């Protein structure tokens, strides 16, 4: 059983550790984080992408005294709902009016506690690494009282700053190989990414959801990581891996997406049913994880580039679909979540060649017809060009330029 002194020692120890750490690269999202009094700020994202560091940066930028506590600390493994009273006493003793909590969702009843502290006028920021768990519990207790922001591993721009590199083909090649996890980029030790994947699969998914067949879960993840940018269906996946039921496959899909390991992009349709029954495209959260967990030894550079474009669009707050009509495909229909407006139509290929040019251009042209768009974009690794199609303007741009301008 935890005592108030136990919690106080953990808070003090974590504060000392934070003081010794470098504050790290200031994240692009930092200026956009709201300063809230009546709402809790929720920062969600995959483990080790920098959420805790972002909280420290937020604390420093606001210049206010805050009490911070990471509930993922092993010393808090026995934290129970009754211990919130002890935490309250510590908060009163500290005089803090801002509260920063990492991974508080591991404690039962946390959402009621956060609601209580909001009612008492505290500023609150929370991080979490499980999208479904956060949204479900926030929806029941904090309806209308929270604002959620997603944090991802480093963008290409952040990667350049962190590594002191210039934009261009060489640095893009490195980014598509190494990814954006800060801790890995400091040491380039592959075990860091392997251990991260292990922690997520076993601690966040298998243990939390009572999955005993961890071998199949790992095979499941490896197969997904080997197919970024490909279309998948639950039934085909079930047959490929020999899983007994489609329902189990759908549960695994949900678990991996909730943990931010993967994302599943639907086909564009105004009908939710059409979106649900059509195959989805799989994207892996970071190129580094793809490298350590993939069984594919082929250098499918086009799919890896497409994967990076998907996450860049997510960083921009876009709702993203693929387009498929008349048996031709356009890779991305990106629609702003706020404000609406004309969707951004994007085709991605590593290199436009005589062999693929007609297919790539036709897919984009069909999407432009459908949306009555006047502009389209083809993202390549290094090519730059432009052409007109039915009096519409299509720009061909190198990916490093798209990443640094968006």
How many CB atoms are located within 10 Å of the residue 159 CB? 22
- List Cβ neighbours of 175 (8 Å cut-off, separation of 6 or more): 156, 159, 287, 308
How far is Cα 204 from Cα 161, in angstroms, rounded to an integer? 31
Give pLDDT tens digits for 313-322: 999 999 999 9
Question: The tokens of 86 are what?
Answer: 């002890």
Whether residue 331 has pLDDT greater than 90 = yes
Residue 300 is predicted with a pLDDT of: 84
Q: Are residues 114 and 179 in the same domain?
A: no
How many CB atoms are located within 10 Å of the residue 268 CB? 23
Q: Are residues 221 and 302 in the same domain?
A: yes
Rg (CA), the chain: 23
- Band of residue 148 on the pLDDT scale cut at 50, 70, 90: confident
- Band of residue 65 on the pLDDT scale cut at 50, 70, 90: confident
Q: State how far Cα 35 lies from the chain centre.
A: 22
Q: Are residues 185 and 330 in the same domain?
A: yes
Angle at 358 between CA 355 and CA 363, to 5 degrees: 125
Residue 145 is predicted with a pLDDT of: 82
Over residues 264-276, the mean pLDDT reads 92
For the residues of 300-341, what is the DSSP string, one character each? -HHHHHHHHHHHHHHHTTEEEEEEEETTEEEEEEEEESSS--
Among candidate residues 118, 150, 182, the one where a domain is terminated: 150
**Is there a contact between 147 and 41 (Cβ–Cβ < 8 Å)?**
yes
How far is Cα 315 from Cα 295, in angstroms, rounded to an integer? 28
Residue 108 is predicted with a pLDDT of: 86
CA-nearest of 154, 161, 176 to 399 is: 176
How far is Cα 46 from Cα 181, in angstroms, rounded to an integer? 10
Q: Where are the beta strands (DSSP E) in 129-270?
A: 146-150, 231-232, 262-265
Q: Are residues 225 and 186 in the same domain?
A: yes
Range of the domain at 309: 156-405
How far is Cα 16 from Cα 13, in angstroms, rounded to an integer? 5
Residue 59 is predicted with a pLDDT of: 81
Q: Are residues 120 and 173 in the same domain?
A: no
Over residues 156-163, the mean pLDDT reads 98
- List Cβ neighbours of 235 (8 Å cut-off, separation of 6 or more): 246, 249
Over residues 352-370, the mean pLDDT reads 96
Whether residue 264 has pLDDT greater than 90 = yes
Angle at 394 between CA 389 and CA 398, to 5 degrees: 150
Edge-to-edge strand ranges of the sheet holding 280-284:
231-232, 280-284, 262-265
Beta bridge partners, 124, equal 40, 99
Whether residue 259 has pLDDT greater than 80 = yes
Over residues 149-168, the mean pLDDT reads 97
CA-nearest of 131, 126, 129 to 115 is: 126
Among candidate residues 122, 150, 178, the one where a domain is terminated: 150
Q: Which of 37-41, 228-232, 293-297 has the highest mean pLDDT?
A: 228-232
Calculated CA dihedral for residues 67, 260, 33, 137, nearest 10 degrees: -60
Q: What is the CATH number of the domain that holds 17?
A: 3.40.50.300
Among candidate residues 91, 122, 150, the one where a domain is terminated: 150
Q: Are residues 393 and 339 in the same domain?
A: yes
Over residues 260-278, the mean pLDDT reads 93
- List Cβ neighbours of 395 (8 Å cut-off, separation of 6 or more): 375, 376, 377, 378, 386
Q: Are residues 101 and 170 in the same domain?
A: no
Q: Are residues 230 and 178 in the same domain?
A: yes
């Amino acid at each position: 059983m935890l005592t108030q002194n136990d919690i106080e020692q953990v808070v003090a120890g974590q504060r000392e550790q934070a003081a010794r750490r470098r504050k790290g690269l200031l994240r692009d999202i930092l200026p956009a984080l709201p300063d809230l009094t009546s709402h809790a700020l929720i920062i969600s994202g995959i483990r080790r992408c920098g959420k805790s560091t972002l909280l420290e940066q937020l604390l420093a930028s606001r210049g206010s005294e805050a009490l911070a506590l990471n509930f993922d600390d092993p010393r808090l493994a026995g934290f129970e709902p009754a211990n919130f009273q002890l935490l309250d006493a510590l908060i009163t003793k500290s005089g803090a009016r801002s509260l920063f909590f990492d991974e508080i969702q591991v404690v039962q009843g946390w959402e009621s506690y956060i609601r209580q502290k909001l009612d008492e006028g505290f500023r609150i920021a929370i991080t979490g690494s499980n999208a479904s768990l956060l949204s479900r519990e926030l929806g029941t207790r904090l309806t209308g009282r929270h604002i959620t922001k997603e944090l991802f591993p480093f963008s290409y721009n952040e990667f350049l700053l962190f590594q002191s590199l210039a934009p261009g083909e060489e640095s893009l090649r490195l980014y598509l190989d190494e990814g954006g996890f800060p801790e890995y980029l400091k040491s380039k030790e592959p075990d860091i990414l392997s251990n991260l994947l292990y922690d997520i699969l076993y601690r966040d998914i298998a243990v939390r959801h009572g999955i005993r067949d961890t071998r199949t879960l790992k095979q499941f993840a490896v197969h997904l990581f080997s197919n970024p940018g490909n279309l998948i269906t639950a039934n085909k996946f079930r047959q490929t891996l020999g899983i007994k039921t489609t329902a189990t496959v759908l549960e695994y899909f949900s678990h991996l997406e909730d943990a931010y390991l993967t994302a599943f992009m639907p086909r564009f349709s105004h009908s939710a049913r059409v979106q649900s029954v059509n195959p989805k495209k799989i994207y892996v959260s970071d190129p580094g994880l793809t490298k350590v967990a993939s069984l594919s030894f082929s250098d499918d550079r086009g799919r890896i580039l497409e994967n990076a474009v998907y996450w860049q669009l997510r960083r921009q707050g876009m709702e993203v679909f693929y387009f498929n009509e008349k048996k031709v495909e356009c890779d991305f229909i990106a629609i702003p979540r706020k404000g609406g407006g004309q969707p951004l139509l994007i085709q991605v290929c590593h290199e436009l060649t005589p062999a693929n040019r007609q297919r790539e251009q036709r897919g984009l042209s069909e999407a432009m017809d459908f949306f009555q768009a006047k502009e389209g974009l083809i993202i390549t690794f290094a090519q730059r060009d432009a052409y007109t199609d039915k009096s519409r303007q299509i720009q061909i741009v190198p990916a490093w330029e798209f990443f640094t301008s968006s």
